[in-house]
Structure 1
Amino acid sequence: MNDVTDAVLVEIATERAAQDAIFGQQDLPDGTGSADDGHRARDARMFCDLAFSSGEGTYRHVFLEEVYEALAESDPAKLRAELVQAAAVGVKWIEAIDRRAAQ
Structure 2
Amino acid sequence: MSYPALFTTPGMRNFAEAVDEERQRQLARWGDQRHPILRGPNNQHLFEQLAQAMRDTNDDDEQRCWMTILLEEAYEAGAERDLAKLRVELVQLAAVCQAMVTDIDSRGAQR
Q: Tell me what 1:81 maps to.
A: 88
Is the 2:58–2:69 Cα contact (8 Å) retained in structure 1? no
| Identical columns (%) | 33
Is the 1:41–1:72 Cα contact (8 Å) retained in structure 2? yes
Using CA pairs below 8 Å that are at least 6 residues apart, which structure has the higher relative contact order? Answer: 1
Q: Tell me what 1:57 maps to.
A: 64
Query: If the length of structure 1 is used for normalisation, what is the TM-score?
Result: 0.80
Q: Secondary structure at the match of 1:101?
A: coil
- Point out where structure 2 has 5 or more consecutive residues left out of the alignment: 1-7
Q: Tell me the CA shift for residue 84 of structure 1.
A: 0.9
Structure 1 residues 81-90 or 29-38, which shifts more?
29-38
Alignment root-mean-square deviation, CA = 2.1
Equivalenced residues, count: 102
Is the 1:32–1:71 Cα contact (8 Å) retained in structure 2? no
Aligned-partner Cα distance in 1 for 2:50–2:10 = 35
- Point out where structure 1 has 5 or more consecutive residues left out of the alignment: none
Kindly indicate which of the two structures has a greater share of residues assigned to helix.
1
Structure 1 residues 84-93 or 53-62, which shifts more?
53-62
